[in-house]
Amino acid sequence: MSLHVPQWKRRRRNLVVFTLIGGAILTSYVGAFALKLGIPSSAWAPWFGMGLLPVLVLKLSVAGYLGIHRGMWRYADLHALVTTTQVVGVTSAILMVAAIALPAPEWLVAVVVQDFLLSLLGFGAVRMAPRVLMELSASHSDARRVLILGAGDAGEALVRELSTSRQFDPVAILDDDPQKHGKKLHGVPVVATLDELGVVAPHYEAEALLLAIYAIPRERLRQVRAMALDTGLPLKRVPAMAELLSGRARIDEVQDFSLEELLDREPIRTDRSPVHDLLTGRCVLITGAAGSIGSELSRQVLASSPSKLILLDNNENALFHIEQELRPRVGETQLVPTLCSVRDENKLRELFSEDRPDVVFHAAAYKHVPVLEHFPEEAVRNNVRGTLNLASLSDEFGVGRFVLISTDKAVRPTSVMGTTKRVAELIVSDIGRRSATIFSTIRFGNVLGSNGSVMQLFRRQIAEGGPVTITHPEMRRFFMSIPEAVELVLYAAAMDEDGGTFILDMGEQVRILDLARHYIRLHGLEPDRDIPIEITGLRPGEKLYEELWTEVEEPIPTAHADILRAPRSQASPTDLARRVRSLLEWAEEGTRPQIIEHLRQIVPDYTGSPRCAREHDRDEGSRRRGAATVLSPRPESFRELPVTPPGSRSLPAEA
């Protein structure tokens, strides 16, 4: 029965539509005779009666054939009027031929002409009436009064779509083209330039600002954002052209600014041709391929058409999603999703032996500082052992390039996370000194929009009404977008010929408190009034400031103005392999204080003093087991170092 309900609704709707059209046909037919011959009289006979039924059938048939009844009439637009004109034009042409061909009085031709004009009015009125009534009935009493910034194509489309909106009521338009001033778009006046925003907004009692310019220069965007902040009004924008063309968004679905647009600098751009030369036709392995950096790395690597792209991750759900995203655009590339932990040396060895990757990007790591302060053993198992596994296998199987994704927290670290990443850097550097493989390290600061990033936290806290939490009022961080970070990784990998550490010159550090206030104001809210800001205190392992290099590394310029290169570190301990082996054994069997002490031995400038939530271990038995651990003989190099210590328990999967 349910299958027949939609048919009945459609038939009932079509019946109503054709009844209205029939009424318009009869009205125009009678009106044409009345205009030519006056009030109904004998002069109409017999032609009025002879033509009534044929005209009605003809016009209804043509209207049905051209599908005039199929459109959504409440959204009638210029296309609907064109269809209406086609119906009236075709039928009037047929009637004109009949009037000339038949032995009829001369005045019948004039009646056909008048019927044509009246039919245009009648059909058009019936066709547009639902939209007109909808717009007239649309209540703007609860809609926010908004200023539209931009009177171009995007502005025109936005104003047109908002004419029936119950959310926004456009009251005026600003545009930098003086020739548009004084004109109107769909009844909304173009009043001034964007620079006069501060004066126009209070005059029109605006409550929000909508930027409707598809390709606004970044410098002009900065100026508009600054003026918007001065008004205290929220600033939103229309979707990007790519989203509109793909159908992922509509013009009236206004959006917040992307996190990347909050950066007060031009985005980093590199030459892609060396990257294509490095990757095209080669087998590429990406670890952590489903993470924030790894997924963007996978997208950009795929654009260079490698012969095979191996996506390695231990997160089954996230791996599924990145595979589904990339699968439709693989082209000739063989996409190989691989569910595997970087701790699993045996499975990694099988992969290297079977697929023989040419380029390895190692992005898999635990990264959350507060969590790893409580679980240093997990940080060591994942960040140190995982890097050792991959770097050793890359050397053994003759990989052409190995790229380690590192962090600014590895420089003079104060956290377990930063220290384990520094150990990973030392491992890569040490193996690289004796290997034919080119080992590179890419070091950069925070990325906007990554999983668990501060901007994601701010967005959620603002949506919940606050407070926005900051650990210290003077905390500062470097920031870059995820696409920028990945572009740097790829460019550095392509340009490196002998191994080293590449660093993005990210300019000045951003004070987190200023970033939070700026982000709150972009939502049209006032910090400390609408959204409170709460200082919670530094967490274990956190630094007030970040560094991208030490004075020992002495970074030098490269061919790219925004990229620096620190030569391969010579500061690693001479017995690094033995110390790392000892660290890995303590991570499997020892206590947390012992793990911290071994980290400090490898990285002497580690200044953290973590107070782990479980600092005394889980039970007395674990302490006894740690104290009774017998360490194996120390190897002289990583080639002699067994990946899994003898007698250790099986390794748990990564979170």
**Span 4-12, average pLDDT:** 52
pLDDT at 645: 38
Give the pLDDT confidence of 403-414 residue by residue, as tens digits. 999 988 888 898
**Residue 74 placed within a domain:** yes
User: Does 516 map to a domain?
Assistant: no
pLDDT surpasses 70 at 249: no
**Residue 52 in domain:** yes
pLDDT for res 8: 44
Higher confidence at residue 241 or residue 57? Answer: 57
Q: Which of 120, 137, 154 is the last residue of a domain?
A: 137
In the sheet where 235-237 sits, what is the strand order? 184-185, 188-192, 168-174, 144-149, 208-211, 235-237
- Least Cα distance to 206 among 269, 143, 130 occurs for 143
Name residue 535's beta-bridge partners: 470
Clarify whether residues 311 and 417 are in a common domain.
Answer: yes
Residues 283, 392, single domain; the answer is: yes
Domain that residue 157 falls in: 144-257
Maximum average pLDDT range among 124-133, 251-260, 451-460, 629-638? 451-460
Most confident of the ranges 148-152, 337-341, 600-604, 624-628:
337-341
Structural domains of the chain, count: 3
- pLDDT of 644 above 70: no
pLDDT, position 585:
92
Would you state the structure tokens that stand for residue 614, as one six-digit string? 């479980």
Residues 442 and 79: their CA atoms lie apart, in Å, by: 55
- Judge if 381 and 425 occupy the same domain: yes
Query: Is residue 655 pLDDT above 60, yes or no?
Result: no
Report the range out of 53-62, 389-398, 627-636, 639-648 with the highest average pLDDT.
389-398
| Residue for token pair 């508009």 | 224
306 and 405: one domain? yes
pLDDT tens track for 303-319:
999 999 999 999 999 99
If you ran DSSP here, which 8-state letter would residue 527 be given? B
Look at residue 297 and tell me if it is in a domain.
yes
Q: Tell me: do 365 and 404 sit in the same domain.
A: yes
Bigger pLDDT: 655 vs 560: 560
- pLDDT-wise least confident of 100-109, 207-216, 274-283: 100-109
Residue 229, Cβ neighbours under 10 Å: how many?
Answer: 14
* Residue 569 confidence class, pLDDT cut points 50, 70, 90: low
Q: Give pTM, 2 decimals.
A: 0.63
- What residues pair up with 334 in beta bridges, in sequence order? 308
Mean pLDDT of all residues belonging to the chain:
78
Residues 73 and 163 in one domain: no
| 633: in domain | no
When pLDDT is averaged across residues 500-510 and rounded to a whole number, the result is: 72
Q: Is residue 606 part of a domain?
A: yes
Mean pLDDT of 97-118: 80
Q: Which of 205, 227, 257 is the last residue of a domain?
A: 257
The beta-strand segments (E) located in 434-490 are: 438-444, 446-448, 468-470, 476-477, 479-481
Looking at the structure, tell me whether residues 65 and 203 fall in a common domain.
Answer: no
Cis peptide before 413 (omega within 30 of 0): no
Q: How confident is the model at residue 589 (pLDDT cuts 50, 70, 90)?
A: confident
Both 31 and 71 in a single domain? yes
Q: Are both 133 and 148 inside the same structural domain?
A: no
What is the CATH classification number for the domain harbouring 166?
3.40.50.720
Q: Are residues 290 and 181 in the same domain?
A: no
Judged by DSSP in three states, 565 sits in strand
Confidence of residue 263 (pLDDT cuts 50, 70, 90): low
Same domain, 232 and 296: no
Q: Are 622 and 566 within one domain?
A: yes
Does residue 652 sit within a domain? Answer: no
Q: What is the DSSP letter of 383?
A: I
- Per-residue pLDDT band for 391 (boundaries 50, 70, 90) equals very high
- Distance (Å, rounded) from C-alpha 169 to C-alpha 144? 6
Domain boundary among 137, 160, 192: 137
